[in-house]
Amino acid sequence: MLEVRAFEPDFLRRLDRLALAIKRARSGRVGQRTLGRIQGIGIELENFKSYAEGDDLRFLDWNAMARLDDLLIRTYRATRQVEVTILIDASASMGVPKTDDKLGFALLLGSALAYMGMGESDAVRIVTFAMRRGAMQLARTGFYSRRELYPDLKPFVLGVRPEGITQLAAMTDQLLLERRAPGLLVLISDFLVDPADYENALTRLAAARHEIKAIHVMGDHESSGNFSAGMLRLRDSESGTIREVAMTADSADRYRRRVETMAQRLRDFCQRHAITYVRAFGAASVDQVITREFPRLGVVV
């Protein structure tokens, strides 16, 4: 139940100095989501410039002209409101192994990012997804843009249970049907799917002009491959498929190599598609991930 920490004051206090990094504007509509620092209609004075033909005379600074006898146009910082969607994988694989509490770890990271986004008055929502009973189910919160509303997320966050199958492409289909303006998408998952699935999903999201940050979570035991020696009967948490393996030292090495290979492939794909990739292996490293890895990788500033 790591997600409980997301609402602890001490934890939130350490997040106050962090903000989500947003690299580029995706929309020019006034009053709507823009990314980046652009001029536009706003309430916050940014600078003055000499009048040029075509400038909106409503922004002419009449006082300055009276004192300086020069035509100066006031420029304002445009009103920026970015929709931040934090997608959290809530499939059954996120609940296994239980000791790792991967889902709690993912919810903790997602909540922290949401808190940081709210601090910048960005519209933030949390969406969990999993394929359940043959249909992709997305559980969404509303958009919250004020930090004081952050506690309202608590019931949602604490109510998430791991269940169903991970299908990122199907999740993308559902998400794009919303036809939302491009924004920031933070995808938190173990990415234990066919690479074609996440590649399809991420490609399509990027094509929709969303800025994507992929956070790859795995548990301590899961990533280190600590299993009992001997004959093991393994059951896939999502498909229920059973397979027997002879767990030996060599098998454990093969397992660990497999984990690294999958993570490397995901990272390479993300790099090729300008997607920020964060490797968050082990819930014990949550503070390090938030305060060091997120800034280093440009997730937060």
Partner 1 sequence: MGLLSPFNLVWLFGSLAVLVLIYLRARARTTIDVSSLMLFEEIGAPVVQRRMFRLDALFWLEAAALSALSLALAGLYLTVLRPIELHRTHAMVFDLGAAMGAREGNQSRLDHARSEALAIVSRAPADTRFSIIGYALGARVIHAETSDRAVIRSALMSLEAAAVAPRPAALKAALIRAREATAIDLFTDRAPASSMVADALDPARLKLHLVGAPAENIAIVSLAPGTPGIRQGHCVVRSFAQHAVRAVLTIESDRGERLTAPIVIEPDEEAVVPFGPLAHGGLVHAQLTAPDDALAADNQRWAYVAPGDSKTRALVLSADAAVRDDLSRILLGINQNLTVAAFDPAQYRASANDSYALVVMHNCYLPGLHAPAILLIFPPAPGEAGITVRGTIAGVELHNQSRREAAAEPLSFAQVREVALGPQDGILAQSVAAAGRPAIPLAAIGTYRDERVGLIAFDVRDRLLLNPDDLDALLLTVHLIKRLTAPQSLEVVATGAYVTIPTTGAVTVIDPNRHEEKLSADRSGHAGFTALSAGRYRVTTPAGETSVYANYFNEDESNLSAGPETVPAADTAARPGHQSLPMTMGMESLEVWLVAIAILALLAESILLTGEWWRRRIPRYV
The SS3 call for residue 36 is coil
Closer Cβ to partner 1, 23 or 258, answer by number:
258
| Dihedral of the alpha carbons of 206, 208, 209, 214, in degrees to the nearest 10 | -30
Rg of the chain on CA atoms, in Å: 23
CA distance 174 to 149: 26
Closest approach of partner 1 to the CB of residue 202, in Å: 18
Residues at the interface with partner 1 (CB under 8 A):
93-94, 96-97, 102, 190, 192, 222, 225-239, 241-249, 251-252, 254-255, 257-259, 262
Mutual angle of helices 195-207 and 249-272, in 10-degree steps: 20
Place of tokens 């969303």: 210
Question: Which long-range CB contacts under 8 A does 11-16 form with residues at least 24 apart?
Answer: 11/112, 12/115, 12/150, 14/287, 14/290, 14/291, 15/112, 15/115, 15/116, 15/119, 15/290, 16/119
Closest approach of partner 1 to the CB of residue 279, in Å: 16
Closer Cβ to partner 1, 121 or 251, answer by number:
251
Closest approach of partner 1 to the CB of residue 298, in Å: 28
Amino acid, res. 149: L
CA distance 117 to 279: 20
Closer Cβ to partner 1, 185 or 192, answer by number:
192
Tokens of 131: 């394929």
Closest approach of partner 1 to the CB of residue 229, in Å: 5
Sheet holding 211-218, edge to edge: 135-140, 123-132, 83-89, 184-189, 211-218, 276-281
- 10 Å Cβ neighbour count for 194? 13
Closest approach of partner 1 to the CB of residue 22, in Å: 32
Closer Cβ to partner 1, 239 or 271, answer by number:
239
Closer Cβ to partner 1, 76 or 227, answer by number:
227
Q: Give the closest residue to 169 by CA, choosing from 143, 152, 140, 194.
A: 194
Closest approach of partner 1 to the CB of residue 165, in Å: 10
CA distance 208 to 171: 14
Closest approach of partner 1 to the CB of residue 107, in Å: 16
Closer Cβ to partner 1, 14 or 257, answer by number:
257
Closer Cβ to partner 1, 59 or 227, answer by number:
227
Closer Cβ to partner 1, 54 or 230, answer by number:
230
Closest approach of partner 1 to the CB of residue 177, in Å: 27
